[in-house]
Amino acid sequence: MKETIGERIKAAREAQGYTQDEFVQRLQLGWSRQILSSIEKGTRDIKALELSKISKTLHLELSYFLASPIESSQKPAAAPAVLWREKPTDSHKPQEAEFIQYCKNYRFLENLNCLKETVDIYTVPNKKISLHQFTYDEASTLAEEIRNAMNLGDYPGTSLLKILEDKYKIKFIFLNMGPNGSAASCIYDFGTCILINSIEVAWRQNFSIAHELFHIITWSESLLNEIKDNKLWDYNEKLANAFAASLLLPSEVLHREINKIVGKKNFTKASLVVLARQFDVSLESLLWRMKFLRFINEKTVKELLDDEQIRSWDKESFQSKNIIHYSVSERFFRLAYLAYSQSDISKSRLAEILGVSLAEVPDTLAKHGYNEYLLVD
């Protein structure tokens, strides 16, 4: 059995792109590379606590390592396809695994609470496209259709996440992906999931959500095959940007607000900031949308984006390090708390699902507005 466990550890480690040296450093168990090598070869026994730490680091269930050869293959099952907007600076495979594990836990909680939720579940619209034919104008038209179909209102940025999560049951996961990882999406048997960079400011997260919504709506095997071509992948990302800008900044609403705020006067930095905040989008997104609608020209956009004041205000992507960033959305947390409060899961399972230690559970609950001690009769 230890040979099988060792082989599975090695297969999972390699699937996530870790070298043996990188993995022992990540584990923080005080191991040398030689210890890990002997475990993977099956010549050293592994303790229960060590295997638990390995499973958490690789974001895999313990059952994967402990199942008999008949119950589980020697290699991990093919991972779900994850469509990245921008991959993180470091290897993205561990973050993919973490994202997928959160999605699985989210689905687990949904199944526990499926009879307790009374809100109707709506189906996300699906649009089959070919990247060889679909245009930017069609992406903008699609955005308007989606805005109306989903009843997102005049200012979608203020309600998009809540509507997608509560009404359409899209699963949102928030992870710190560094300066270059902004978002990803996935559709699999655990549902429809969107990954967002937790350290981006709210208006950049809004754009990422709208961007990923385009990928969710147009998701198909044929499109996934098309974007294996790097040029088509790049074009698909640009289409998603055009869709996101049109969704968050509806043309007729933007015209109305520009007339109200600016009128016949020239645009000022202050008036542009007011517009961006009203729609809850970045100033960069607003400027390019205004250029597309011919309010301003491309030269003006570039001049503004090169302005030091604009850059300092709009392009600062990171919030204060003192702010706590959560990996789970409010709905995810709500389902987890409900399952725990009704004894569907243990406290240790709650900690595992939330990605915290057992000792951190009370404080984590409190920071989300829940109190563990209210559960005591």
Would you kindly state where each structural domain of the chain is located, as residue ranges?
A: 2-66, 83-248, 251-314
The share of the chain scoring above pLDDT 70, in percent, equals 87
When pLDDT is averaged across residues 61-78 and rounded to a whole number, the result is 61
User: How confident is the model at residue 70, as a pLDDT?
Assistant: 46
Q: Give one DSSP letter per residue of 153-179, joined into a string.
A: -S-GGGTHHHIIIIIS--EEEEE--TT
The number of residues in the chain equals 377
Given a contact cutoff of 8 angstroms between Cβ atoms, the answer to whether 21 and 32 are in contact is: no
184-240 pLDDT, tens digit each: 999 998 999 999 988 888 888 999 999 999 999 999 999 999 998 989 999 999 999
243-279 pLDDT, tens digit each: 999 999 999 999 999 988 877 777 888 888 888 888 9
Which amino acid belongs to residue 310?
I
Q: In what order do the strands lie in the sheet with 83-84?
A: 83-84, 183-188, 191-197, 171-175
Q: Is it true that 2-66 and 83-248 share their CATH fold?
A: no
User: How confident is the model at residue 319, as a pLDDT?
Assistant: 45
Q: Over the chain, what is the mean pLDDT?
A: 84
pLDDT band at 317 (very low <50, low <70, confident <90, very high): very low
User: How confident is the model at residue 226, as a pLDDT?
Assistant: 94
Gap between the Cα atoms of 214 and 237, Å rounded: 9
Whose tokens are 């809004």? That residue is: 206
Enter the tokens of residue 350.
């709650």
Which amino acid belongs to residue 71?
E
pTM of the model: 0.81
139-177 pLDDT, tens digit each: 999 999 999 999 999 999 989 999 999 899 999 999 888
Q: Which residues lie across from 171 on neighbouring strands?
A: 193
Domain 2-66, CATH class in plain words = mainly alpha
User: How confident is the model at residue 256, as a pLDDT?
Assistant: 93
Q: Is the pLDDT of residue 318 over 50?
A: no
Gap between the Cα atoms of 281 and 39, Å rounded: 50
Calculate helix-pair angle for 136-149, 202-217, nearest 10 degrees. Answer: 100
Gap between the Cα atoms of 15 and 91, Å rounded: 11
When pLDDT is averaged across residues 40-51 and rounded to a whole number, the result is 85
CA dihedral over 127, 133, 135, 138, signed as positive or negative: negative
Query: At a CB cut-off of 8 Å and minimum separation 6, what does 90 contact?
Result: 178
Gap between the Cα atoms of 359 and 349, Å rounded: 13
CA dihedral over 105, 108, 113, 117, signed as positive or negative: positive
84-141 pLDDT, tens digit each: 987 666 567 888 888 998 999 999 999 887 655 555 568 899 999 999 999 999 999 9
Q: Can you name the CATH fold of 83-248?
A: Arc Repressor Mutant, subunit A (1.10.10)
Gap between the Cα atoms of 101 and 95, Å rounded: 10
2-29 pLDDT, tens digit each: 568 888 888 888 877 788 888 888 887 8
Given a contact cutoff of 8 angstroms between Cβ atoms, the answer to whether 155 and 279 are in contact is: yes
Side-chain-side CA neighbours of residue 5 (13 Å) = 22
